[in-house]
Every structure is written in C-alpha cells, then in structure tokens.
A and B are shown apart, each in its own frame.
Chain A
Amino acid sequence: MTPFTKFYVGFSTVLVLVFFYANFQGWSLWHSIQSGSWSPQGRTTFQHK
C-alpha cells in the first residue's frame, strides 16, 4: 500500500465512521457547517426558568 493510499484509507475510514455516527445520532453535518461549530448539535441551548 502506497503512503497516499494509506492516507486515503485513514481519511475515508474517519469519514465513514462520522457518517454512521451522525446518522444514528440524528446529527446533521449541514447544521454544523452552517453554524461554523463542529459541536454535533451546531447550536446552543440554555436552561429554561
């Protein structure tokens, strides 16, 4: 396996894992990109009183 292939396999493995995690948790990556925050929710919450 060439170094480039190793990098590609590593990179794609992470992406595929993120994809499965996001889908199972209901995490829309689009929201994170829109909000510029890579927290899964892509939003803030507050404590309601």
Chain B
Amino acid sequence: MSVACGSCGSVIDANDENYKIIDKFAVPKGVEAPAIPLGTRGKYHGTVWEVVGYMIRCDRSEMYQWREYLLFNPGKGFRWLMEFDGHWTYLVMMKNAPVESLMSSGRQVSHLGNHFSLFHTGKAKVRFAMGEFYWNVEVPGMVDVDDYICPPEIVSREASADEVVWSHGEYVSPEVIRQAFNIKEMPSQFGVSPCQPSTIGPTRDQVFKWYAIFAGLLLFGQIGHMVMADRLTVMQDRQIITSGIGKDFVTPTFKIPGGLANLELLLASNVSNNWMEVSGSLINEKTGEAYPMEHGVEYYSGYDGGEAWSEGNATDQKLFSMIPGGDYHFEYTATGAAPETTFTVAFNREVPMYFNFLFCFSLISLFPIFIGWRKHRFEVERWSTSDFSPYWSQEEDE
C-alpha cells in the first residue's frame, strides 16, 4: 500500500512504520485537479464509495490523457472510476482472466457470454498520482494495455513485468456520476467513448421491428391487389382517321362493372414517324357526370450514322383513378398527322397499380434508413480512434 502526495510528488510506503519514501516524481505543471475531490463519498450501485486515490494517466505519446479515481468501500474493496473526455467508466478488477480468441474479425475476449472486440492496444503510464493506493505506485510505471469493447461494457488488460490485471467496466452516464458524488462542475464531454452505448440503438431496434411489420403488410397488400386485379376489357373501339382535321366518335354504351375502381385508357395505333391523339369525355349515362380524358401516342424511327434508332411508342395506356361502375359511353375526337391512321381505343377495368406500393414502401423506408445511417455514423465515430476499426476502409473513403 502506498500514499502519493500531489504537492511534492513523494510516494511513501504506508506499510512501513517510518513511512519510507519509495518513489518521487516531478509534479507536472498545470496538473488537473480531480473533478471528484479525495475523500468525497458517493453512492453507486447501492454502495457508498469513498474516493481515496486519483491518478492522471496517458499513453506513451502523451497525446491521450485520462483520469482514474480509486474508490474504496470497507466491505466491497476497491473499484475504479475512469474519466476520458467527459465520459465515465466504472471498473472492477476481474478474478479470472476472460477467454481470449482470434476471430476473422480480429482479437476478441469472452466474458459472461459477451464477446468483446479489440479496440486498443498500446502502452500507458502514470503522469500524476495523489492519495492512497493498494499497491506501490510508480511514476511513470509503464504497462501494456489492451482494451476490448462490447458497449456499454469494456474489458481491459494491463500487463507489467510482474503481473497481468484484467478489469471489467461499464459506461456510466455523467449525470449519474454527478448525482452520485454531488459534483458541481463536470468535465466537458467530447466525441464518443469506446464503450458508450448508442442512444439510437433502442430506437433503431424498435423501428426496424416495426418496419418489418409494415413492409410485410404492404407486400401482402400489393400481392393481393395484383392477384385480384382482373384487367377486364370493358370497351374496344377500332377506327380510322385521315390527316388534318379531327374526327368525332361516339362509342356504343358499355357497362363498367363493380364499384369504384381504376380504368385504363389504351390507345393502340399504327403511327410510324408520326403521332395521333384522342381527347374526349367518358360519360356516365345515368348521372350525366363526364370524366375528361385525353391521350396521345407518337413513334419515330430511322437510321443515323448507320445505326437504327427509335423513340416513342405506337401503343400506350393511361390510368384514371376511382371511376364508379355504371353504364357509359365515350365521346372523343381523334386527331393525327399521318395520311391515314388506324387506331383502337379500349378501356380496361381494374388494372394492377405499382406506384402506390413503391411510394408507400419508399416513405416507410426513409426512417429506418435514416436511423441506420445515424447508428452507422455513431459507430464510425466510436471506432475513429481505434487501430482496429472495422470501418477503417469506409473512413478513408469518406
């Protein structure tokens, strides 16, 4: 057991009756005061913990620096609170080492049924220490560190020349820490912590579950609609027109069966390098209600530079929505530019529609796509500081 003085940098052996100085380190300038002062007590997981030690640690390059608080409870022993960029992790030393394995996705460890992926490996050292510690603190006391994550949990391995220590940790919301230890000024939070749970995760799971249900309903409805659509031809009128002046036609009365349904106007012609159109009204003989309808076709083809080309179509159809059943006739004018055009006007009842399905399916897909993208961005940011990011190739592309 040792006690470190944050003012003079002396580390004394607390087990020695003469309090022998076992180490002395240079106190860095502008060292950060602990956010939770030594001696502070707080309740976490139903246990009262007292902060007895505080360390500032960093990687070998000293680019990344984090703070560790040693907690003590007489009945439970020691625990750690680690703070990095305003993110907090509560760590417990593990009694048994987890099972290590090498998977196709990289190194992993397994603990209590969870698989932890390697996030970081490197060296860590102590920059500053103050308070009591259950071992003889050495500054810098360089150790090898491996961090494995399975958010919101983390498993860390610290290996020195003498021993290997495994710790299991869980991400703790800063608000929980603030309330537990009654901290007035919390460190500012930056970025995404390695073991920070995604706030989008639960929403994503729920939305994807509902998405599957809604997509299934739409698919079921569309299949049913296609099976039931009989595409019944209720009228067909074949005519001939000559060029120039529009010619008027009135079809015989025909019956459109059923209630409301769609109606397809089919215009089939023999136009070639020309056009024609029909314009008129579908008239309900009982109510007198008229539905204006017009449709045209054009077809052009030829050779250009030795290659055949064509555009347009001599036959085309147009759909009209919600036409009630009843007795109808179609009054229309046909116009064409060709010297003589033979054409057929036909009405088909209950033709299958695809746009409704695609439109609704696209709209219900927007939210899951957005949520999935947000979750992906969160994970990319989480792994951005790792050398083992599964997203590294995408990050480079982006």
Q: Which residues of A contact B (CB under 8 A)?
A: 1-2, 4-5, 8-9, 11-13, 15-16, 18-20, 22-23, 25-33, 40-49
CB distance from A25 to the nearest CB of B (A): 5
Q: How many residues of B contact A (CB 8 A)?
A: 40
Q: A5-B207, A8-B367 are in contact. Are A43 and B321 (CB under 8 A)?
A: yes
CB distance from A20 to the nearest CB of B (A): 5
Say whether A40 contacts B321, CB under 8 Å: yes
Complex CA distance for A30 and B371, rounded to whole angstroms = 27
Tally A-B pairs: CB < 8 A.
Answer: 112
Provide 13 A-B residue pairs closer than 8 Å at the C-beta atoms, listed in order of the A residue. A12-B211, A16-B217, A22-B356, A28-B319, A28-B321, A30-B356, A43-B292, A43-B321, A45-B289, A45-B290, A48-B284, A48-B290, A49-B288
Say whether A23 contacts B225, CB under 8 Å: yes
Q: A8-B207, A48-B283 are in contact. Are A18 and B367 (CB under 8 A)?
A: no
Say whether A27 contacts B217, CB under 8 Å: no
Say whether A18 contacts B281, CB under 8 Å: no
Complex CA distance for A13 and B203, rounded to whole angstroms = 17
The reply to whether the CB of B357 lies closer than 8 angstroms to some CB of chain A is yes
Interface positions, chain B 346-375, Cβ under 8 Å from A, are 350, 353, 355-357, 359-360, 363-364, 367, 371
Residues of B within 8 A of A5 (CB): 203, 206-207, 210
Complex CA distance for A2 and B367, rounded to whole angstroms = 14
The reply to whether the CB of B93 lies closer than 8 angstroms to some CB of chain A is no
**Majority secondary structure of chain A interface residues (helix, strand, loop or mixed):** helix
Interface positions, chain B 293-340, Cβ under 8 Å from A, are 319-323
- Return the contact of B210 from the options A8, A25, A48 (Cβ within 8 A): A8
Residues of B within 8 A of A47 (CB): 288-290
CB distance from B15 to the nearest CB of A (A): 53
Complex CA distance for A23 and B259, rounded to whole angstroms = 13
Residues of B within 8 A of A41 (CB): 320-322
Closest to A44 in B: B292
Say whether B206 contacts A1, CB under 8 Å: yes
Say whether A23 contacts B353, CB under 8 Å: yes
Complex CA distance for A14 and B202, rounded to whole angstroms = 23
Closest 8 CB pairs of A and B: A26-B262, A48-B290, A26-B261, A30-B355, A5-B206, A19-B360, A23-B225, A12-B214
CB distance from B290 to the nearest CB of A (A): 4
Residues of B within 8 A of A2 (CB): 202-203, 206
Complex CA distance for A33 and B321, rounded to whole angstroms = 12
Residues of A within 8 A of B260 (CB): 25-26
Complex CA distance for A30 and B350, rounded to whole angstroms = 16
The reply to whether the CB of B291 lies closer than 8 angstroms to some CB of chain A is yes
Residues of A within 8 A of B217 (CB): 16
Closest to A22 in B: B356
Complex CA distance for A44 and B367, rounded to whole angstroms = 34
The reply to whether the CB of B39 lies closer than 8 angstroms to some CB of chain A is no
CB distance from A18 to the nearest CB of B (A): 7
Complex CA distance for A25 and B371, rounded to whole angstroms = 33
Say whether B290 contacts A46, CB under 8 Å: yes
Complex CA distance for A35 and B364, rounded to whole angstroms = 23
- Return the contact of B261 from the options A15, A19, A25, A45 (Cβ within 8 A): A25
Interface positions, chain B 190-243, Cβ under 8 Å from A, are 202-203, 206-207, 210-211, 214, 217-218, 221-222, 225
